[in-house]
Structure 1
Amino acid sequence: MRLLFLAVLRPHTGNAVTAGRLRDHLEAAGHMCVLRDAFDFESPSEIANLIVGENLEAALALHLYRGGRLLQGHGIPFGVIFGGTDLNEDANHKEKKEVMGKVLEEARFAVAFTEAMKDTAEVQWPHATGKIFVQSQGIATIPNADFNWNTFLQQSEIDQSADDLHIFLVICGLRPVKDPLYLVDAFSEWHQETPNVYMVIVGPEVDPVFTREVKDRVRRASGVRLIREMCQEDLHAVVKSCFALVNSSVSEGMSAAILEAMDLEVPVLARNIPGNSAVVEHGVTGLLFSNPQEFIQLAKRLVSDPALEKEIVTNGREYVRTHHSWQVERDTYQRLIGKLEACSED
């Protein structure tokens, strides 16, 4: 079957990585998948021309508002996948919520990453109850075996022996909802007391205005570095080499970076928000913090307690292997696309 897949495809973002992985799942089942950036289209008429020009039979969208609304009214069956933005931000805007409700009326199925996301969606749009499926993100990590950690540290202007360092890594697109500056002041104070701890922020410059603010703050903060985005294999190698992965977002759907860190046996410290607490059990698979001061307390505890680190790492890896199977994700999407195939043949 010839499928259109709409997603937001900013390079090196979680959305782009998820979309690429799901496209691979669909193509492995023999479908031809046209993956396009939703931001390249301004109106449904442009999508209509694409559908006719590419002879597309069905469609899938990651994000109901950004992508799903463009798929309405074309006469081809489609499914949608909830993004964190759909439920955490766009559902709070009356007009966007109405648009997403209409998308759900026409969609043949919808996918939520967690039971909590499904519950939230069913409260917002009761008419969608029965067509929302839960499928967590499937995780597969591929660290670059040739990646040079010492070179990375030098490029990050960290001039200390790698043996004595504790690098806390924040992976995020530079935009306000990811809140990469949340911990900067507190961490900088800690670095002044303990010079071998560093925070490194890695990610694409998504919001130009906010990016300037981040660069300005980081430039003035001791012990904090900002690095441009990198390919997935190199990023996984950085995660594997760092001391801990940190997530300080205001809201999340499901953070792939957290799950990838668990898979790579790296401890996770995450801000205590619903999207994070759905995958991080405090003291078991990671550590949850509610403010910068608590983060510093937990980070110090992790540095000084190897037994805690080992326990969290072991539990985290087991959690990902059990609940975020790449193969289960593949089977689910291939089955759901089969629903569209049946509709298309009708």
Structure 2
Amino acid sequence: MRLLFLAVLRQHTGNAVTAQRVRDHLEAAGHVCILKDAFDFENPSEISNFIKAENLEAAVALHLYRGGRLLRGNGIPFGIIFGGTDLNEDVNQGDKNKVMGKVLEEARFAVAFTESMKEMAQRQWPHAKDKIYVQSQGIATVPNTAFNWNTFLQSSEINQSADNLHMFLLICGLRQVKDPLYLVDAFSEWHQEEPNVYMVIVGPEAMDLEVPVLARNIPGNSAVVKHEVTGLLFSDPQEFVHLAKRLVSDPALEKKIVANGREYVRKYHSWQEERQTYRQLVRTLERNTGD
């Protein structure tokens, strides 16, 4: 099939990474998958023109509101992948909530990343409960980073023994709730007290790296990270520093959450299972293309 895949594609965000991964799954199944930024289109009529021009047969959208609303009434079968923004923010705005409900009426399937996301969606739109599936985001083998840690550790500004160095990597996106500078002030104060602690801000990676995870206590994170089991959850910068100090001084806690986190990823975030799920769901669009 020739598929349109709509997503918000700002670089280095979770949306862009997820969209690229799902497109790879669909193309590996033999489909032609044209990935387009939802923000490139103003309204459904522009999408309709694009669908006709590209001779597209079906579509998938990441985000019920941002992408899905553009597919309504275009006459081709489509499926939806829920974004965190859908269920944590847009659902609370009356007009957007209503539009998302209409999108779900037309969608052939909808994918939630966690059970809690599925439950939230079913409460909001009970008419769509039978078409909502859960598929955790898959994690492939993490490639070796190109970052030269030896050069970094030997720099004059660091000048610390590796045995005494504690490095915190901040995995971040662009929305306000994922503000990469959220911890900077509190971490800077801690660094002044203990110069051997550093924070490094990087792009997409985390629990699969076999390092302890500290995550901000927001719905998307708490659905994945269980406090003191697979990671640590903090509500404000001061709590982050408190938990980070605890982690540094408690090797047993670090060992436990690293092991639990790694096992959680292996059990629930299978890249192969994710590929198989999307292949099966897209086949339902293929069977219904002529409806």
Alignment gaps of 5+ in structure 1: 204-256
* Residue of structure 2 aligned with 1:275, choices 220, 235, 247: 220
Deviations 1:208-258 (A, max 9, x none): xxxxxxxxxxxxxxxxxxxxxxxxxxxxxxxxxxxxxxxxxxxxxxxxx5x
1:168 matched to 2:168? The reply is yes
Separation in 2, partners of 1:154, 1:160:
6
Counterpart residue type for residue 158 of structure 2? D
Shift in Å, 1:90: 0.8
- The DSSP-based 3-state class of the residue aligned with 1:344 is coil
Shift in Å, 1:151: 3.6
CA shift in 2, pair 1:82/1:158, >3 Å: farther
Counterpart residue type for residue 66 of structure 2? R
Q: What is the match of residue 295 of structure 1?
A: 240
CA shift in 2, pair 1:128/1:162, >3 Å: farther
- The DSSP-based 3-state class of the residue aligned with 1:144 is coil
Shift in Å, 1:185: 2.4
Matches for 1:38-49 after TM superposition, within 5 Å? 38-49=38-49
Alpha-carbon contact 1:87-1:117 (below 8 Å) kept: yes
Alpha-carbon contact 1:160-1:196 (below 8 Å) kept: no
TM-score normalised by length of structure 1? 0.79
Deviations 1:87-123 (A, max 9, x none): 1111111111111111111101111111111111111
Separation in 2, partners of 1:284, 1:117:
21
* Residue of structure 2 aligned with 1:340, choices 269, 275, 285: 285
- The DSSP-based 3-state class of the residue aligned with 1:200 is strand
Alpha-carbon contact 1:6-1:62 (below 8 Å) kept: yes
CA shift in 2, pair 1:271/1:147, >3 Å: closer
- Count of residue correspondences: 290
Matches for 1:151-230 after TM superposition, within 5 Å? 151-152=151-152, 158-161=157-160, 163=162, 164-202=164-202
Alpha-carbon contact 2:153-2:160 (below 8 Å) kept: no
Shift in Å, 1:298: 1.3
Separation in 2, partners of 1:179, 1:145:
23
Deviations 1:31-52 (A, max 9, x none): 1101111111112121111111
Deviations 1:174-201 (A, max 9, x none): 4312133332222222111101112223
Separation in 1, partners of 2:285, 2:140:
27
- The DSSP-based 3-state class of the residue aligned with 2:206 is helix
Separation in 1, partners of 2:270, 2:41:
33
Q: What is the match of residue 304 of structure 1?
A: 249
Shift in Å, 1:293: 2.5
Q: What is the match of residue 90 of structure 2?
A: 90
Q: What is the match of residue 103 of structure 1?
A: 103
Q: What is the match of residue 128 of structure 2?
A: 128
Counterpart residue type for residue 70 of structure 2? L
Q: What is the match of residue 34 of structure 2?
A: 34
Deviations 1:250-286 (A, max 9, x none): xxxxxxx5xx422110110112222212111222211
CA shift in 2, pair 1:147/1:186, >3 Å: closer
- The DSSP-based 3-state class of the residue aligned with 1:129 is helix
TM-score normalised by length of structure 2? 0.94
- RMSD of the TM alignment (CA)? 1.8
Alignment gaps of 5+ in structure 2: none
Alpha-carbon contact 2:152-2:158 (below 8 Å) kept: no
CA shift in 2, pair 1:100/1:307, >3 Å: same
Alpha-carbon contact 2:77-2:108 (below 8 Å) kept: yes
Counterpart residue type for residue 272 of structure 1? N
Matches for 1:316-327 after TM superposition, within 5 Å? 316-327=261-272
- The DSSP-based 3-state class of the residue aligned with 1:181 is coil
Alpha-carbon contact 2:208-2:265 (below 8 Å) kept: yes
Separation in 2, partners of 1:119, 1:307:
35
Alpha-carbon contact 1:122-1:128 (below 8 Å) kept: yes
Shift in Å, 1:154: 7.5
Separation in 2, partners of 1:29, 1:335:
10
Shift in Å, 1:289: 1.9
Alpha-carbon contact 1:4-1:56 (below 8 Å) kept: yes
Separation in 1, partners of 2:271, 2:12:
20
Counterpart residue type for residue 98 of structure 2? E
Alpha-carbon contact 1:169-1:200 (below 8 Å) kept: yes
